[in-house]
A and B are shown apart, each in its own frame.
Chain A
Amino acid sequence: MTLEAIVEQLGLKCKCCWEKLKTEVDGGYAGDLLSDVMANSSGGDVWVTRQVHQNIVAVASLKEHAGIVIVQGASPDKDTLEKAQMEGIPIIVSDLSEFEVVGKIYHLMHYA
């Protein structure tokens, strides 16, 4: 499934790197502790988080995530978007809670 399909079907908003939305998503990870995400997420994951600062881009880039979904209506920092643009990491936002976003993406990927 592509990131684009997730964005469209869940009505999410893409804040950066539309051109990368065709990226294939292999799985997902949810977490707000960056060391936890570093250790336990995988390349190709869509990463769901409530963090908004620019260090999330460094993590996603190092782990080669397909993209980041920021939840709970939070807005990524300006620096975060600039860095994401540079690194080519899609930043997607949702008004829903982390729990709901993860549930919906999981359902889409495994049962839809």
Chain B
Amino acid sequence: MPGDEYLEGIFYVQGRDFVDAGIVSSEIKKKLKEKDIPESIIRKAAVVTFEAEINIISYAEQGTIQYYIESDSVTIEAKDVGKGIEDIELALQEGYSTADDSIRELGFGAGMGLANIKRFSDEFEISSVPGEGTFLKSTIYLNGK
């Protein structure tokens, strides 16, 4: 059944590579458009993937972003190897950031990334092991909540 199709794409993200920041998000956005995912869903997915991509670039050594399309949802998963997050509750608070000046000079590191991912997700999960890495999963429902 076409509605139950399950598709997957996996993209590699290199830490500190601000030059290529946004490439993975654009690629996923393009794929979602090709699959006729509604515009409003693509807009949310674009914010989620961009923030996840920037987080890997800013804070991790490397990571992957993958996405799934199901009949009723789009799911984005970001997994990285890096320093991880010590206090997730704190990291989720808007305005809290551990970014250094080089990140802030680019207009990132304002402590909005994770808050944005949560805000634009219908379901949101995050877990992290300090010193190892972080995993996050965002699901966006195709028909709203």
User: Which A residues contact B (CB, under 8 angstroms)?
Assistant: 32-36, 38-39, 43, 49, 51, 53-59, 61-63, 79
**A-B residue pair count with CB separations less than 8 angstroms:** 61
Name the residue of chain B whose CB is nearest to the CB of A31.
Answer: B107
A-B pairs, top 3 by smallest CB distance, nearest first, are A58-B22, A35-B112, A34-B107
Asked whether, in the complex, the Cβ of A33 is within 8 Å of the Cβ of B47, the reply is no
Contacts of B114-136 to chain A: CB distance below 8 A: 116, 119-120
Asked whether, in the complex, the Cβ of B26 is within 8 Å of the Cβ of A34, the reply is no
Asked whether, in the complex, the Cβ of B46 is within 8 Å of the Cβ of A63, the reply is yes
Asked whether, in the complex, the Cβ of A38 is within 8 Å of the Cβ of B51, the reply is yes
Asked whether, in the complex, the Cβ of A35 is within 8 Å of the Cβ of B19, the reply is no
Asked whether, in the complex, the Cβ of B22 is within 8 Å of the Cβ of A35, the reply is no
Residues on A with beta carbons closer than 8 Å to the beta carbon of B120: 39
Main secondary structure of the interface of A (DSSP, over half): helix
Known: A35-B51, A55-B18. A62 touches B29 (CB 8 A): yes
The smallest C-beta distance from B112 to any residue of chain A, in angstroms, reads 4
Name the residue of chain A whose CB is nearest to the CB of B18.
Answer: A55
> Is B75's CB within 8 Å of the partner chain A?
no
Quick one: which of A53, A54, A56, A62 contacts B25, CB cutoff 8 A?
A: A62
24 contacts between A and B (CB under 8 A): A32-B107, A34-B108, A35-B51, A35-B54, A35-B108, A35-B110, A35-B116, A38-B47, A39-B119, A39-B120, A43-B43, A49-B107, A51-B107, A53-B18, A54-B19, A55-B22, A55-B107, A55-B108, A58-B25, A58-B26, A59-B22, A61-B22, A61-B26, A62-B22
Residues on B with beta carbons closer than 8 Å to the beta carbon of A56: 107
